[in-house]
Amino acid sequence: MDYRQKQVLLKNGQSAVFRAPNGKDGQAMLDYLKEICAETDFLASFPEEIHFTADDESKYLQDILDSPNRLMIVCTVDGELAGNCQIVFMTSMKTKHRAAVMIGLRKKFWNLGIGSAKLPKPKALRNWSWRCLNTIGVQWRCTEKWALKSWRRTRTPSVSGTVPLKPLFSCGKCCDFS
């Protein structure tokens, strides 16, 4: 699914560009993914678990562009890939009213307003009303209560509920801050 490019002024005065990825973004996306996975223990993978190539990533990005059920938005600041967001619309008869959201951001770009600006607002999601979308599944980690607060402040309140994901740290201990 394509996304129309937009430019946003960040809290620090820099300009961010939000756009759909393209096949040329493969290596940059791969480097970005490895970096954000190293910056926090609260993502699904460790950097050393990422075994695909830049060509694999380019193909994946093209598959997203070609899909009517997936949307990815990348954010660049001064030409550098700062973050991305992906929305996956469910397709089965029982879940086609739902979508899952994934978002990532390089640590040096935290707290600049990128996360708030990156996701489509509820009005934009309603424009996809032909999907009968009424629930957006957002997962957050036990220590990321700020993420839920931010989501509820700026997005539709129809969040499917907390998922007590307790990832393992690289040392093998389980995260349990509840």
Domain range annotation of the chain: 6-122
Say whether pLDDT at 142 is over 70: no
Among residues of the chain, what percentage have pLDDT more than 90? 34
- pLDDT tens, residue by residue, 7-25: 999 999 999 999 999 889 9
Listed in sequence order, the residues at least 6 apart from 47 whose beta carbon sits closer than 8 Å to its beta carbon are: 34, 35, 37, 38
Say if strands 98-105 and 6-9 run parallel, antiparallel, or are unpaired.
Answer: unpaired
Tell me, what DSSP letter sits at residue 93? T
Neighbours of 15 (CB within 10 A): 11
In this prediction, residue 44 has a pLDDT band, given cuts at 50, 70 and 90, of: confident
CATH architecture type of domain 6-122: 3-Layer(aba) Sandwich (3.40)
Bridge partners of 80, per DSSP, are 77
